[in-house]
Amino acid sequence: MGLDLIDAGQGNVVMTDRNNYAYFLIGSQWYKMDSLTLQHVSVGPAGIWGVALEDGVYKYVAGSFVYANDHTLEQVDAGGDGQVVGVTHTSTIHCLKSTIASDYREQSTVSWTTLPGLLTYVSCSSKYGCWGVNSAQNIYFTTSHHILDGLAVMVEIGTDGSVFVVNRGGEVFQRQGIDSSTPQGTSWTKIPMPSRINHVSYDRGNLWVVTDYGIILKCLC
Q: What is the CATH number of the domain that holds 28?
A: 2.130.10.10
pLDDT score, position 106 = 82
Q: What percent of the chain has pLDDT over 70?
A: 97
Which one has a higher pLDDT value, 143 or 219?
219
- Across the range 51-69, mean pLDDT stands at 94
- Across the range 190-210, mean pLDDT stands at 97
DSSP-derived secondary structure letter, 100: H
Whether the per-residue pLDDT at 176 is higher than 90: the answer is yes
Interatomic CA distance for residues 192 and 198, integer angstroms = 14
pLDDT score, position 1 = 54
**What is the residue range of 34's domain?**
3-220
Coil, helix or strand at residue 170: coil
Q: How many domains does the chain have?
A: 1
Residue 47: which pLDDT band, with cuts at 50, 70 and 90?
very high
Whether the per-residue pLDDT at 30 is higher than 60: the answer is yes
Report the alpha-carbon angle 12-18-19, nearest 5.
100
* Stated pTM of the model: 0.94
Residue 149: which pLDDT band, with cuts at 50, 70 and 90?
very high
Coil, helix or strand at residue 24: strand
pLDDT score, position 147 = 86
Q: Which residues of 48-86 are buried (b: 16+ CB within 10 A; e: fewer)?
A: bbbbbeebbbbbbeeeebeebeebebbbbbbbbebbbbb
- Across the range 203-215, mean pLDDT stands at 96
